[in-house]
Amino acid sequence: MVFNTAYMINFFIKILHFGRSFIFSLNNLHLKIKFYHMKKIIILSLFLCLSCQQVKTITESQEATFGIVIHGGAGTILRANMTSETEAAYRKVLAEAIQVGHSILKNGGSSQEAVEKTIHVMENSPLFNAGKGAVLTADETIELDASFMHGETLDAGAISGVKTIKHPISAAIKVMEDSPHVMLSGAGADAFAASQGLEIVEPEYFLTERRINSLKRVKEAEAKEKKISSLEKEYVSQQRYGTVGCVALDLEGNLAAGTSTGGMTNKKWNRIGDAPIIGAGTYANNATCAISATGWGEFFIRSVVAHDISALMEYKGLSIQEAAHTVIHDKVGSLGGDGGVVGIDHRGNVAMEMNTPGMYRAHMDAVGSLNVKIYKDE
């Protein structure tokens, strides 16, 4: 119920004037309620009405909170290795992507839609290790992974090892919405996506000269080294970043998180990282936060990174920034892993935490302030 303050004050003033010469008698009870008692009641009523209006205004302000955060991968991202043209290109796509999602949220769209459409922009870019820009496997093929989670219902969907789905994040959402499962993989996931009317492309669509050359260099180095395990640590540190992710809070107070990736350059044996694993690479819960992770997937799986951040908030009362710092630095870091996360909580507070030299990332709040960053010291 909405109260018109001026109308209510005028109404009560008229009652006060009328009541000055009026005494309300209840003869059967032998009680007389004098006007000063009535005046106290009226003043109290006016105070309560004004208080209700103030509470409503505060509530409306809280409901208007929304925000969005994205990442394009974390790793050894140094100014010394980045040309001004390349840096500008990354910043441009990050800005374009997050503005798509922010526009959806600003106009009352859902966090789910914002996450999906934002990730589409990055999946379409050859700059990032997702969709069009995905890295190649040891067999010179593409194997794409993605996951999505809704914070209100805790519904989730994921796909792994797909080869023909143009937008893997949309396939993950379809698994959540239109199947009784949480994760599908390989040829079955490709077939499911086709049956749902998602855009299907030839595997050659994903091949880019940049990724072909990258795989060639890695294989040449591997052949010279002979010791794969030690070499992998070196090339993984250079090649694993590029995973994309998005987290969002909408005007209804619902959180959502999504992650999409091509995995690791020269990966073998249908390797799967953390990106499609709910609780490791992606997690959302309206009671706490939405998280998308990027980095060395094996360590993020072992640390259950995304869910652990949520759990620290729920059970220990940590802020999203405190929880993200604890997990990325004290837990993942202590195991020898590296990477980062982006997150947003149910109040719109954000975290963009990493233990690497850089992470492609961006944030926009309800006001529309745009922050695009690449290096850790920004």
CA distances 62 to 65, 192, 232, 251, 345, Å, are 6, 40, 48, 9, 13
Quick check: 25 and 32 in contact, CB under 8 A? Answer: yes
Do 172 and 30 belong to one domain?
A: no
345 and 254 in a common domain = yes
Question: Where does the pLDDT of residue 284 fall: very low under 50, low under 70, confident under 90, or very high at 90 and above?
Answer: very high
CATH number assigned to the domain comprising residue 334 = 3.60.20.30
Report the distance separating Cα 166 and Cα 375, nearest Å: 29
Same domain flag for 213 and 253: yes
Torsion on CA atoms 108, 110, 113, 118, rounded to nearest 10: 70
**101 with 190, same domain?**
yes
Residue numbers of the domain that contains 239: 65-375
Asked whether residue 80 falls in the same domain as residue 48, the answer is: no
Distance (Å, rounded) from C-alpha 163 to C-alpha 205? 10
Contacts of residue 172, defined as CB under 8 A and 6 or more positions apart, other chains included, come to 146, 147, 148, 157, 158, 159, 258, 260, 276
Question: Per-residue pLDDT tens for 229-243?
Answer: 544 554 445 555 579
- My answer on whether 89 and 234 are in the same domain is yes
Query: What's the pTM?
Result: 0.82
In angstroms and rounded to an integer, the radius of gyration of the C-alpha atoms of the chain is 27
Is there a catalytic annotation at residue 243? yes
Candidates 118, 137, 164, 243; catalytic one: 243
Q: Are residues 325 and 243 in the same domain?
A: yes
Look at residues 46, 61, 76 and tell me which one is the last residue of a structural domain: 61
Residue 221 sits in the same domain as residue 316: yes
Rounded to an integer, the average pLDDT of 343-371 is 97
Please tell me whether residues 115 and 34 are part of one structural domain: no
Contacts of 87 (CB under 8 A, 6+ apart): 374
State how far the Cα of 48 lies from the Cα of 3, in Å rounded to an integer.
11
Per-residue pLDDT tens digits for 1-34: 344 444 444 554 454 444 444 434 444 444 444 4
Q: Are 237 and 298 contained in the same domain? A: yes
- Checking if the pLDDT of 123 tops 50, the result is yes
Amino acid at 356: T
Q: Are residues 123 and 18 in the same domain?
A: no
Tokens of residue 231, six digits: 């070499």
Examine the domain organization and report whether 153 and 53 are in the same domain. Answer: no
Question: How many domains does the structure of the chain reveal?
Answer: 2
Rounded-to-integer distance, Cα 145 and Cα 13, Å? 68
Residues 184-202: pLDDT tens digits?
A: 999 999 999 999 999 999 9
pLDDT bucket at 218, cuts 50 / 70 / 90:
confident
The full DSSP string for 288-303 is SEEEEEEE-HHHHHHH
